[in-house]
């Protein structure tokens, strides 16, 4: 594997990487042992993405966050920074990948995103062969699910009310900015 030569961004983005969420909604005792453990890990890792979405909103940006994980290990995290940096392609997943840096191979990684990835981000996920994507919600935006699934990517939609609420509140308050973000202006 190639060494991680990507830029490091110290500061509040690094805090909390090792924290674990408690009270995991949706973790069912009916699920098999391995399936239940995976579901619990999915909610813990999604909590990191949700922290990033909230950070973006506090910065005046679009509240979409992402985390890239190998099982329980956080590899990268990021959030939509289009508004903050004036960069049209810096969606949450792209910022997350940039923060993860060069990895050589993305085999065995899972991308967590608070919202279904758009076609640009879905294409990047397919290109780097990230074969599992977990989203907080897709009701606000259907995104590129079909593209990812057509290329063998497993897509899991947690349908989290917290993700839906933060996104819908933002869309209601900023319809023009949202339309710009998804290319519908």
Phi, psi values for residue 78, rounded to 5°: -170, 175
Distance separating alpha carbons of residues 34 and 65, to the nearest angstrom:
26
Distance, in Å, from the CA atom of 106 to the CA atom of 75, rounded to the nearest integer, reads 10
Q: Is 93 a catalytic residue?
A: yes
In angstroms, the CA 178 to CA 159 distance is: 20
| DSSP labels, 40-56 | HHHHHHHHHHHHHHHHH
> Which DSSP letter does residue 67 get?
E
- Tokens 């995104």 belong to 143
**Crossing angle for the helix pair 92-100 and 119-127, nearest 10 degrees?**
30
Contact of 73 with 4, CB cutoff 8 Å? no
d(CA 82, CA 70): 26
Please identify which of the residues 93, 154, 180, 184 carries the catalytic annotation.
93
Enzyme catalytic residues: 93
């Amino acid at each position: 594997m190639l060494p991680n030569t990507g830029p490091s961004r110290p500061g509040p983005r690094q805090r909390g990487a090792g924290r674990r969420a408690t009270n995991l909604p949706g973790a069912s005792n009916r699920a098999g042992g391995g399936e239940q453990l995976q579901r619990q890990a999915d909610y813990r890792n999604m909590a990191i993405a949700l922290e990033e979405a909230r950070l973006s909103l506090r910065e005046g940006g679009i509240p979409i966050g992402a985390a890239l994980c190998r099982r329980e290990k956080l590899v990268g995290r990021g959030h939509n920074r289009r508004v903050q940096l004036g960069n049209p392609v810096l969606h949450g997943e792209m910022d997350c990948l940039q923060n993860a840096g060069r990895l050589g191979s993305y085999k065995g990684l899972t991308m967590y995103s608070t919202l279904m990835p758009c076609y640009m981000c879905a294409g990047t996920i397919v290109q780097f062969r990230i074969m599992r994507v977990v989203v907080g919600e897709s009701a606000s935006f259907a995104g590129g699910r079909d593209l990812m699934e057509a290329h063998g990517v497993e897509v899991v939609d947690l349908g989290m009310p917290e993700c839906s609420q933060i996104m819908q509140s933002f869309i209601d308050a900023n319809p023009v900015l949202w339309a710009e973000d998804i290319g519908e202006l």
